Amino acid sequence: MLVVAALSGACSGTPVSETPVRTELVTPQSCKPEPPVAIDLASRRLADGRYEITATATPKATVDSLDLRFVLPPGATIDRPEREAFGATATAQRRVMTAIVELRDRSSEVSAVVAVPVEGIAMTKSATVAFGEPKPVPRTKVYAMPDGERAREVRP
């Protein structure tokens, strides 16, 4: 339709409008409901294998209760309880939990999970931070079987 208007305007001798075309990018909405809370997880290296981690949960609406917890890899130690219940929290009221963790593996991940009740259902949201060397990409090898099927082998 735009091409037709441009051609007809050019043929008739009347100037064609140079109004820019307006485009809008629409971010697709998730079909899964999300809790009305934002979570952030920050880390700071203290020494070899020791890190200070800080989880911050900020509700986008008033909630009846807010639970915040750390999820650690096997073998990790923490200097405080891994979970804290904050009770009722107002909109934009930040809830912060800080801990010192000691990790034994060369590469590890620590997560923070916030849970809030929404219409009687506990909804969660999480944030994760990675420590150490990145995990290696698994190596794969594909074999052709005698019957023509293919088999894939995955090794770390």
**Gap between the Cα atoms of 68 and 115, Å rounded:** 7
Q: Give yes or no for residue 21 having a pLDDT over 80.
A: no
Domain tally, the chain: 1
**pLDDT class of 76 with cuts at 50, 70, 90:** very high
According to the model, what pLDDT value does residue 128 have?
93
Mean pLDDT to the nearest integer, 92-106: 93
Q: Tell me, what CATH number does 68's domain have? A: 2.60.40.2430
Phi-psi region of 61 (alpha: psi -120 to 50; beta: other; left: phi over 0): beta
pTM of the model: 0.66
Taking the C-alpha atoms of residue 96 and residue 94, their distance in angstroms, rounded to an integer, is 6
| Domain of 82, in residue numbers | 37-133
In a domain, 75, yes or no: yes
**What is the pLDDT, as a whole number, of residue 54?**
95
User: What integer is the mean pLDDT of 119-131?
Assistant: 91
Task: Provide the pLDDT for residue 47.
Answer: 85
